[in-house]
């Protein structure tokens, strides 16, 4: 595994087991903090908008189905363009890709705040999601190529992952506060934060190396894979609206699969493929991405259930709901402090498995909710979810990028974030469909829907356990 020649300066220090480690220089810390600021921005942007949707629906006169597309448009573009975004960072330069698309993110987030019609907001969110699809894997690959593989990179990635989750958790509370003043602030505040990050990133992120001669850009592959991802995610989103026509949803999925098969055929013959198909032969990478998909789907499905349970069944305000979910943000503290020690002592897979099992326990505890469950009884679920996120999210990021060549780190990041976003869309759609089709009382419907995240994370734990078993078998051999 090679490392970037443009990595920030480092100073060596002794490490456990007499293995050399590297202490990050002030410039390296500055670069990491800038990249953490960007992923924090992405998390807080999504979370704040989640909280503001009911107010936006009322102010812009949108229907419930219409306002759901404000979120769906973002997820659709984010997941649809992610693979292209990750590979673009590898081919055209990670710093350049990061800075350009952070600027686009800034501009269209601000334009969303000026929207006077629902369609304007939906278009702004689609472009914002597309910009995040290029910006996020570029930022991740700057870390994975800028820090040497091993304890230092693991520490940086866990710090990065904790910041991302912390942004989402804090965004729920900040979004509630800003919405109480004016929902448009939910769009304008990220603009100010993005401007600061952009200025710092221009100064602190090292310039890209000159690309090697002889490379090319696989335009047909880019079009086919992006079209496939857009159609597949759109099909998943349509599952939330079964009344819109089952036949059309099936046609959308069929089109997505057809384009995906076309993409594979193109990549096999391309002189300079967008995605080297050989990377998908890595069992560890496939398990990490499948685990990420199942973990994200479970979490976002649970969050959807919890928010609507607290607001519709319990009658809690938006701000009260935000504070109720704040305990999940414990991972922002645990990920950079506790998780690196656990990974160093027990290994990546065992820590991921521990996170999956912890999440399963958290969801199982919430199954006992009723119409007057106290927050004291709900608090263990929220706290355990924070711990589960700290144990699983960062180590999954390490597993998905570990051992990947430097010139494919953007692609690895794109695959990982595609899995996260596709999982989120799938979890939300499945939970929504179960809620729509569940009989009995509304509370019974929520209990039935809670089985979805529980089953999802149990499957994730099973996938991880197979990986751990395979590693033990290879070690024994």
User: pLDDT tens, position by position, for the chain (477 residues)?
Assistant: 333 334 454 443 333 344 444 577 788 889 999 999 999 998 888 888 877 887 888 899 887 667 778 887 888 888 888 888 888 888 888 999 999 999 999 999 999 999 999 999 999 999 999 999 999 999 999 998 888 888 888 888 888 887 887 787 788 788 888 888 899 999 999 999 999 999 999 999 988 776 554 456 677 888 888 888 888 888 887 776 655 667 888 898 899 899 999 988 988 888 777 777 888 888 888 999 999 999 999 998 898 888 878 887 888 887 788 888 888 888 878 888 888 889 889 988 999 999 999 999 999 999 988 888 899 999 999 999 999 988 998 899 888 888 888 778 888 888 888 888 888 888 888 888 888 777 667 888 888 999 999 999 999 999 999 877 766 555 555
Mark 16-53 as b/e (b = at least 16 C-beta within 10 Å): eeeeebbebeeebebbbebbbbbbbbbbbbbbbbbbbb
**CATH 1.20.1250.20 describes domain 276-476:** yes
Cα dihedral value 249, 254, 257, 263, nearest 10: -120
Left if phi > 0, otherwise alpha if psi is -120 to 50, otherwise beta: which for 24?
beta
Nearest-angstrom CA–CA distance, 430 and 46: 20
Closest CA to 397 of 379, 381, 412, 377: 412
Domains in the chain: boundaries: 26-206, 219-273, 276-476
Q: Which stretch of DSSP H or E encloses residue 12?
A: strand 10-13
Closest CA to 129 of 151, 109, 100, 115: 109
Same fold, 26-206 and 276-476: yes
Backbone phi, psi, residue 302, to 5°: -65, -45
Nearest-angstrom CA–CA distance, 181 and 179: 5
**Which residues have C-beta within 8 Å of that of residue 309, sequence separation ≥ 6?**
369, 446
Closest CA to 400 of 283, 304, 263: 283
Q: Which stretch of DSSP H or E encloses residue 296?
A: helix 283-308
Q: What is the CATH number of domain 26-206?
A: 1.20.1250.20
pTM over 0.85: no
Nearest-angstrom CA–CA distance, 284 and 470: 10
Nearest-angstrom CA–CA distance, 76 and 94: 23
pLDDT digits 0-9 by tens, 372-383: 889 999 999 999
H-helix segments, 61-117: 64-92, 94-113
Nearest-angstrom CA–CA distance, 51 and 177: 10
CB 420 within 8 A of CB 289: no
Closest CA to 292 of 303, 300, 280: 300
pLDDT digits 0-9 by tens, 65-91: 677 788 878 888 888 888 888 888 888
Length of the chain: 477
> So what's the pLDDT on residue 99?
95
User: CA neighbours within 13 Å on the CB side: how many for 220?
Assistant: 13
Q: Which stretch of DSSP H or E encloses residue 151?
A: helix 151-181
């Amino acid at each position: 595994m090679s490392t970037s020649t443009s990595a920030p300066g480092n100073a060596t220090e002794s490490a456990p087991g007499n293995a050399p480690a590297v202490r990050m220089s002030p410039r390296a810390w500055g670069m990491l903090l800038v990249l953490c600021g960007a992923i924090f921005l992405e998390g807080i942007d999504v979370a704040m908008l989640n909280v503001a949707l009911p107010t936006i629906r009322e102010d812009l006169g949108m229907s419930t189905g219409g306002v759901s597309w404000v979120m769906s448009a973002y997820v659709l573009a984010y997941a649809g363009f992610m693979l292209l975004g990750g590979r673009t960072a590898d081919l055209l330069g990670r710093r350049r890709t990061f800075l350009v698309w952070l600027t686009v993110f800034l501009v269209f987030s601000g334009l969303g705040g000026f929207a006077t019609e629902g369609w304007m907001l939906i278009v702004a969110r689609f472009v914002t999601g597309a910009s995040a699809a290029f910006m996020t894997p570029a930022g991740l690959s700057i870390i994975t190529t800028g820090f040497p593989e091993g304890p230092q990179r693991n520490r940086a990635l866990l710090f990065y992952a904790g910041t991302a989750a912390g942004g989402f958790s804090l965004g729920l509370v900040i979004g509630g506060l800003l919405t109480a003043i004016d929902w448009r602030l939910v769009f304008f505040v990220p603009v100010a934060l993005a401007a600061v990050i952009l200025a710092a990133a221009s100064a602190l992120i090292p310039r890209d190396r000159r690309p090697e001669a002889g490379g090319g850009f696989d335009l047909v592959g880019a079009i086919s894979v992006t079209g496939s991802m857009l159609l597949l995610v759109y099909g998943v989103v349509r599952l939330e609206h079964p009344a819109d026509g089952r036949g059309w949803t099936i046609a959308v999925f069929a089109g997505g699969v057809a384009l995906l098969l076309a993409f594979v055929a193109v990549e096999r013959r391309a002189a300079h493929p967008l995605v080297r198909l050989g990377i998908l032969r890595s069992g560890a990478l496939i398990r990490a991405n499948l685990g990420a998909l199942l973990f994200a789907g479970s979490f976002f499905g649970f969050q959807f259930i919890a928010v609507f349970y607290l607001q519709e069944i319990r009658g809690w305000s938006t701000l009260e709901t935000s504070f109720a979910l704040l305990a999940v943000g414990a991972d922002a503290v645990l990920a950079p402090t506790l998780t690196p020690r656990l990974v160093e002592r027990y290994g990546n897979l065992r820590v991921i498995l521990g996170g999956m099992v912890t999440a399963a326990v958290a969801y199982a505890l919430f199954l006992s909710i009723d119409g007057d469950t106290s927050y004291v009884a709900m608090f263990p679920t929220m706290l355990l979810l924070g711990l589960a996120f700290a144990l699983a999210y960062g180590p999954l990021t390490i597993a998905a990028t570990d051992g990947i060549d430097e010139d494919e780190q953007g692609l690895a990041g794109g695959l990982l974030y595609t899995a996260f976003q596709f999982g989120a869309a799938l979890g939300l759609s499945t939970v929504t469909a179960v809620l729509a089709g569940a009989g009995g009382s509304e509370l019974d419907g929520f209990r039935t829907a809670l089985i979805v995240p529980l089953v999802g994370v149990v499957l994730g734990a099973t996938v991880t356990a197979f990986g751990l078993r395979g590693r033990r078998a290879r070690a024994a051999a």
